């Protein structure tokens, strides 16, 4: 493997990891309730069914017929009470209603105070995403410096790869910032 290929491989792996960090942040944002119904709020909820805990999305269909309503359609009607219990004990703060076959969750509008609290939560999650990206940059930089120290790449190549790594990091942090701006706008929207 040549010098360029070695350094490029490190950058490609780092890019993949940074993409995953940004995707993770996007998923964290989706799980924050914004007054609108979304399946992401409950799909990973753990439900105790058949003697084991499973994710809600594996035992029920989720749909959003209206902006403030989420409908959960269990594949097996006998699981309705267990799903209802899981929702009640979760931190959603929503009281489910069921008609024996489906469970409906109606999301009330958020208060101004709650919106401000949620903005703080998403800002914290965004900062965690940025820190994860920066940690990946640091790890890649150490790897590249190790290659230069071992003589696998030249000092000029190290400098070029570090500039590319900094640009990649900047792009990923900008992506997290855009996600944050979108989520804040969604939360503050009445």
Asked whether residue 91 falls in the same domain as residue 26, the answer is: no
What is the rounded average pLDDT of the residues 155-167? Answer: 91
Determine the pLDDT at residue 137: 95
Domain count, the chain: 2
Q: pLDDT per residue over 35-60, tens digit each?
A: 677 777 787 888 888 888 888 888 88
Asked whether residue 22 falls in the same domain as residue 46, the answer is: no
> What domain range includes position 50?
39-106
Q: pLDDT per residue over 70-102, tens digit each?
A: 898 999 888 888 888 888 888 777 788 888 888
Report the C-alpha gap between 110 and 187 in whole angstroms.
9
Q: pLDDT per residue over 113-129, tens digit each?
A: 888 888 898 999 999 99
Structure tokens at 189: 């929207």
Asked whether residue 99 falls in the same domain as residue 61, the answer is: yes
Look at residue 176 and tell me whether its pLDDT is greater than 80.
yes
The answer to whether 11 and 141 have CB atoms below 8 angstroms apart is: no
CA distances (Å), origin 1, targets 7, 11, 54, 149: 10, 15, 45, 17
Polymer length in residues for the chain = 190
| Helices and strands per DSSP (H, E), number in the chain | 5, 6
pTM of the model: 0.72
Q: Give residue 14's pLDDT band: very low, low, confident or very high (50, 70, 90).
A: very high
Q: pLDDT per residue over 58-69, tens digit each?
A: 888 988 888 888
Q: How many CB atoms lie within 10 A of CB 148?
A: 19
Please enumerate in sequence order all residues whose Cβ is within 8 A of that of 12, keeping only pairs 6 or more positions apart, or say none: none
Determine the pLDDT at residue 12: 92
Is the Cα dihedral 73, 76, 80, 86 positive or negative?
Answer: negative
Asked whether residue 82 falls in the same domain as residue 173, the answer is: no
Determine the pLDDT at residue 64: 87
Asked whether residue 81 falls in the same domain as residue 148, the answer is: no
């Amino acid at each position: 493997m040549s010098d360029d290929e070695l350094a490029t491989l490190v950058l490609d792996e780092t890019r993949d990891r940074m993409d995953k960090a940004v995707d993770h942040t996007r998923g964290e944002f989706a799980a924050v309730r914004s007054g609108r119904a979304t399946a992401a709020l409950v799909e990973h909820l753990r439900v105790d069914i058949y003697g084991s805990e499973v994710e809600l999305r594996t035992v029920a269909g989720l749909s959003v017929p209206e902006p403030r309503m989420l409908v959960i359609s269990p594949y097996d009607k006998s699981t309705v009470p267990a799903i209802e219990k899981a929702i009640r004990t979760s931190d959603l703060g929503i009281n489910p209603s069921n008609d024996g076959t489906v469970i409906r969750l109606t999301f009330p509008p958020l208060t101004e105070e709650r919106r401000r609290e949620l903005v703080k939560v998403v800002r914290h999650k965004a900062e965690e995403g940025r820190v994860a990206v920066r940690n990946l940059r640091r790890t890649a930089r150490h790897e590249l410096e190790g290659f230069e120290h071992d003589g696998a790449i030249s000092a000029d190549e190290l400098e070029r790869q570090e500039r590319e790594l900094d640009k990649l990091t900047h792009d990923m942090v900008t992506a997290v910032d855009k996600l944050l701006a979108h989520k804040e706008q969604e939360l503050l929207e009445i």
